Amino acid sequence: MTSVQKETIPTLLQGRDARIRSQTGSGKTLAYSIPLVQSLQKLEPKIKRSDGPYALILVPTRELVLQSFETLQKLLKPFTWIVPGVLMGGEKKKSEKARLRKGINILVATPGRLVDHIKSTQCIHFRCIRWLILDEADRILDLGFEKAVAAILNAVNAASPKRQNVLLSATLSEGVSRLAHISLQDPACITMASEAPGSNISREKDCLREDAGILPAKEEEQGSFAVPEKLRQNVVMVPSKLRLVTLAAFIFGKFKLEKRHKMIVFFSSCEQVEFHYVLFRKVLCEESGEEGSGFAPGSLSPLTFARLHGDMKQEDRSAVFQAFLQLKTGVLLCTDVAARGLDLPQVTWIVQYNPAASLAEYVHRIGRTARIGSPGNSLLILLPSEAEYVSFLASYKINISEMKMEQILSSLMKDDRFKGNPERSKKSQQGDGQEIRRRTTVMQTEFEDFVHSSAKTIRCAKKALQSFIRSYATYPANLKSIFHIRALHLGHVAKSFGLRDAPGNLGAVVGAPRQGKKQKRRDPLKKTQVKPHLNIAFEYSSGLHPSASKGKRKKRLRKWGEQNSPS
């Protein structure tokens, strides 16, 4: 058993309420499922299906509903008279009502769909409820389900005030503490900040101090995040125009050369997931045909792509989730819908292409690997202007090692897939650095050629670019100085979406004046377009060939200065 299971199972078997805080991937689902099944199977007279729910488990996402349901099914194999069931969005309410009428003894549900049934389904009742479990409580609140949880608590309290309550979370927040206060009665507080052994007394004291609000905000937040011990965290600084090829080269190197890997790549929007899924399928896997349900195996290749995001149909999401579970090697491109609670076995790499908007999300993303003592790796891709994010993480004792961009791009030298013109390749054998740039150029050109091959792909790329700009503008106030819209060079950002030029109407996406208010400043996006960065000549050009000579560079900068000097 894991540490959290050793502490939790005996406590819950005593019938006490509990608030459990442990690092992601430490086995919290089994920690509450085992006592739950143990207590229900020994009830006399035996539970009947027609009795209705004896246990209610609330989880934030549909994928976590399915995962928890599968765990319960395995535990309930010897106890056939106890029936588990699910309620979640994406399915017809008529089918769910039919299941409720037949009877469900352990109900796993998302808060929104359960509240919908409480309001509209007469056959649902909570008269027999013995257990109420809130899993990933912080994520439930982050997704805006606070009112839904309050409505569920009211309904359950009215029908069955005496029951055992359990609240689980990998992070601690003010909302979680408030929820614990209203839902738990004299709880046992189990806090496993690390797998290192510690006394129960100290854990109880820490929890009491947190409940009493004694911890300062900074200290409270530092103690709220636990990173898996065997996780190796890396960061790479990449200019905007090289972000796409760096990500592609990293995936290419891990799967074409090392092969035995399973990777999850996090993006900030559904549109970006769709764009990169199609792009990588067609260019890296060299596949043809239309997109399927979200799962694209590479023929005769370990490079297999899957996608998962909130805009997909529920049947497609379920199919992708189940298929990726079975894969021994592959890449899952996803949004934060896969960041919480999901147990995806044997994941070796987590890549954050768009940095998390909060410390909690960062910790939950990297928690998809290095689960229950297994080793794992993570890679955070940042722009040079976002370097301060590393210091932000370090202030919460999350230390990251730097990986060089050139090291990632050098993987293109180990395979002839992006060798390009053989004649030019012979001429460029003088230096590895020049050949790496040339092969990177070949890869970028292939991406751009595909994007510009049809109006549909151009439209997809523009849509993804717009969604990236929107998400970049929504970083919270404490991170605004690191992720500021003015720091982006739209021409270079467009390059990372395979576009040769920045679309002219992007200024309308962000920075548009509000109705009824005058716009006092110029649009920051327009300003970024008009005024080039002074270090533009020192980066690879749009074609990624070596930068201009010093004389040309000085002449270009002098000309720019004359044009922009006050008259």
Of residues 35, 28, 104, the one with CA closest to residue 59: 28
Residue 548 clears pLDDT 80, i.e. is over it: no
Q: Look up residue 232 and give its two tokens.
A: 């190796």
Give the distance between the most distant pair of CA atoms in the chain.
92
- Beta carbons of 228 and 4 less than 8 angstroms apart: no
pLDDT for residue 375: 85
pLDDT for residue 528 is more than 60: no
pLDDT in tens, 70-116: 999 999 999 999 999 999 987 788 899 999 999 999 999 999 999 99
Confidence of residue 342 (pLDDT cuts 50, 70, 90): confident
Per-residue pLDDT for 567 more than 50?
A: no
On the CB side of 286, CA atoms within 13 Å amount to 7
Contact 359, 393 (CB under 8 A): yes
* Backbone φ and ψ of 243, nearest 5°: -65, -45
In terms of DSSP bridges, do strands 305-308 and 295-296 run parallel, antiparallel, or are they unpaired? antiparallel
pLDDT at 189 exceeding the cut of 70: yes
pLDDT higher than 80, residue 242:
yes
Q: Which strands form 262-266's sheet, in the order they lie side by side?
A: 295-296, 305-308, 330-334, 262-266, 349-352, 376-382, 231-237, 401-402
**Structure-block tokens of residue 527:** 């300003």
Residue 451 near residue 498, CB atoms below 8 Å: yes
* C-alpha to C-alpha distance for 139 and 336, rounded to whole angstroms: 11
Half-sphere exposure of 268 (CA within 13 A, CB side): 20
* More confident of the two residues 286 and 180: 180
**Confidence class of residue 297 from pLDDT cuts 50, 70 and 90?**
very low
Predicted pLDDT at 510: 45
pLDDT in tens, 52-67: 999 999 999 888 899 9
Task: Show the tokens assigned to 214.
Answer: 């004694």
Spatial distance between the Cα atoms of 176 and 180, rounded to a whole number of angstroms: 6
Q: Above 80 in pLDDT, residue 32?
A: yes
The string of pLDDT tens digits covering residues 382-440 is: 999 999 999 999 998 888 999 999 999 999 998 888 887 665 555 545 457 889 999 99
Question: For position 339, what pLDDT does the model report?
Answer: 72
Locus of tokens 């469900």: 104
Whether the per-residue pLDDT at 164 is higher than 90: the answer is yes
Alpha helix positions (H), 422-489 = 422-427, 432-451, 455-472
C-alpha 129, offset from chain centre: 33
Strands 305-308 and 401-402: unpaired
**Average of pLDDT values for 310-316?**
86
| Residue 87 structure tokens | 């309620």
User: What pLDDT shows up at residue 538?
Assistant: 34
Phi, psi of 102 (to 5 degrees): -65, -35
Quick one: 484 exposed, middle or buried, by C-beta within 10 A (0-12, 13-18, 19+)? middle
